[in-house]
Structure formats: structure tokens, C-alpha cells
Structure 1
Amino acid sequence: MKNTILILFLIGVFNSCNNQKINHNEAVTTYYKAFDSGEFNKIKEVIHDSVTLISGDFIMPFDKNTFYEFYTWDSIFEPSYEVIELIEDNDDVIATISQKNIRNAFLKNNPLKLNVKISFVSGKITKIEELDYIDVNWDTWSQRKDSLVSMVKINHPELDGFVNDMTMKGAVNYLQAMELYDNRD
């Protein structure tokens, strides 16, 4: 009888270890490391079935399939993410993130540092809301973006709309527009 109880106890311990959920800070760290290393399957492990990204007035709802499209858009710009700080706030995490990529470099704000609020449902990331940016030169950002958009409208209308097209095609068009801008006479 003692052996049976001991075996059942050990089985219970092993099962509980295998079913442990990662904490919110670990989920956030996994999310950004997976973006950084290009491992979408790891991202899928920590995001909920629906995820909403909020950036200013833009609210972008995704399911796991459409989130993959956003992930591919982001990956075209060869991003590098660093989690600078994580602060748990009830069921949310406030994270300070540093993001380097080709687009931010073109817009003369590389790295881009920001604070985000990450919300969870059933232990999975369900919402990422940009709170504020740290030391971003919005004048330079806007001037570079506006010059790029104007140049494209006049000289390469086939690429027009790239700024708000968050698909892989939109990202490829964005890269092409930046290259054309940098190589203009």
C-alpha cells in the first residue's frame, strides 16, 4: 500500500511539473526572444487564440493565423529585440522594449525604445498596447516618412500604400521604397 501511494504521489508530481504554466514575465521574454530569433512556433505557445495590438489610434486584432502575417511583415525588417525591464502590474506586465531594425534605421530612430502594457487571458498574451516611446525624435521620424511617401507617390506609384500595408508584400514594398529613396539622384 505504501508503494502504491508513493508511486501515485510521484506520478502526480511529475504531471504537475509538466503542466506548469510559465509566468507572465517569462511569457513576455519568450515572445520577444522568439521574434528576435525568428521562431514563430514559440510565439504561438505564449499568445492567446486572439491577440490585439494597439498603437495609438490603430487597433489591430489578430487570430494566430493572421498574427503570422504580422510576424512576417516584422521579420522583413530584420528586427532585433531586447527586453530592458519587466514590471508585473496585477495581471498585466509593463515592459520596456528596445527594437532595432532596418525601418527604424531609415527613420533615424534606431533603436526604438518604448513601454508596452501586455495583458493576459488564461496565462497567454492577449493584448499588447504601446504606452509611450523613450527619446524618439518624432520630427525626424515624420520628416523621413513623409519624404519617402511623397517620393513614392510621385516616382513609384506602384508602391503607394506601403506604409499601412502590414503584410509581407507591404514590408517588401517598404524596403524597396527605402532603397529607391536612398539611391535617388
Structure 2
Amino acid sequence: MKKISLLIITILFVSCAVQKVSKPKLVMKYYEGFKKSDYQEVKNVLSISLIITEGDYLMEFTQESYYEHFKWDSIFRPVYKIVEVKNQGDKVSATVSVKSSRFEFLNNNPLTCKRNFHFKNGKINKIENLDCIDINWEIWQRQRDSLVNWVKLNQPELDGFINDLSEQGAKDYLKAIESYKKQKSD
């Protein structure tokens, strides 16, 4: 009986000592994982399923399928900087600046965007992409369209890279940018 009581007291003590991670801290850990190219750190703060919204566009992920997005993003060597994190009760709003080779090509580097993070059972289960405060969509679209049209004419084997969100799609995107830049400088 003494051993059982000691075991129960130990379990209660350990349970009380383990503190819940705050929501803003979970958001910071999420971006730390991206900064360090450590998907395990990202995965540790994600719910089993994740929804990302961008306007009316909705993307649903499992932790495994989100890994594909993580690999796609990593190809462009992003550098994330958290500008601001605000706890707003049931959600956290974050303003994050990111530099990458893709944004550099699109003449919007860094790109600073606001996002809302939602939680379920102490994990991130939804990310709402709100607005990007310093983006010039006109320049972005002109650069993107110029690249897509150039690829169709000059490197048709890479055509479709713009809609391919796989790791290979990102590699093709980067290859298209490098080839385009090289051709323009010749």
C-alpha cells in the first residue's frame, strides 16, 4: 500500500511540475522549426490535422502531408523573423517577415505577413493567412508571369512548376529562376 501511495504522489508531483506551453510560445516554436530546418520541432506543435486558409482558399494537411509543404518551403532557403506575437485568448496573431530566394526573384523580399493561429488540445490546428503588409502584387504577378511564359518557351520540361507544391516542384521553380536570370544576364 505504501508503494502505491508513493507512486500516486510521484505521478501527481510530476503532473503538476509539467507546465502547459503557452500559445504564443507554440507559435514561436513553430517558426523556430522552420528557422532550423527541423520538421520534428514544427510537428511537435501541430495538431494531428492542420488547416491553412488564404482568403477563400483552404488547404487541409495531416502532419505527414504538411511535411511536404515544409520541404517545398525549405528549397527556397527562407529566413524567418517574428516581428510581433499577440495572445488574443483563443488565438494568437503573429506578424512574420520572411526572406527567400523566391521572394527575392518576385521583388518582394522580405515579405511581411500577418497570421492568426488557432489551437485545439494545446496544438496548432489552423493558420489563417491574413494580409501581407508590404507586398506589391502587381510586381509579384508580373515577375511570376514573365517566368512562367519564359519557361513555356525555353524550358518546357519545367512547365507546371508554379502549381507543383512538392519538393521536386520547388527544385524546378528554383531551376527556372536560375535559368531565367542567366538567360537575362547573357
- The TM-score normalised by the length of structure 1 is 0.91
The reply on whether 1:80 has 2:75 as its aligned counterpart is no
Matched, 1:16 2:16: yes
Q: How does 1:138-177 map to 2 (within 5 A)?
A: 138-177=137-176
Give the Å deviation of 1:10: 6.1
Distance in 1 separating the partners of 2:120 and 2:180: 43
Work out the number of aligned pairs and report it.
181
CA offsets, 1:11-68, max 9 Å, x none? 52333223x3211100000000111111111111100000111223432111011011
What SS does the corresponding residue of 2:135 show, helix, strand or coil?
coil
The 5 Å alignment of 1:26-45 reads 26-45=25-44
Structure 1 position 86, deviation (Å) = 1.0
Q: Unaligned regions of 5+ residues in structure 2, if any?
A: none
Structure 1 stretches lacking a partner, 5+ long? none
Counterpart amino acid of residue 43 in structure 1: V
1:126 aligns with 2:125: yes
Whether 2:92 is the aligned partner of 1:93: answer yes
Amino acid aligned to 2:12: G
Could you tell me how far apart the structure 2 residues matched to 1:70 and 1:128 are? 14
1:6 is displaced (CA, Å) by: 9.2
Work out the CA distance in 1 between the residues paired with 2:154 and 2:57.
Answer: 28
RMSD, aligned CA: 1.8
Identity of aligned residues (%): 41
Q: Deviations over 1:86-140 (max 9, x none)?
A: 1122211111000111101111111100000111111100111111111211111
TM-score by length of 2: 0.91
Query: What is the rounded CA distance, in whole Å, between the counterparts of 1:54 and 1:89 in structure 2?
Result: 19
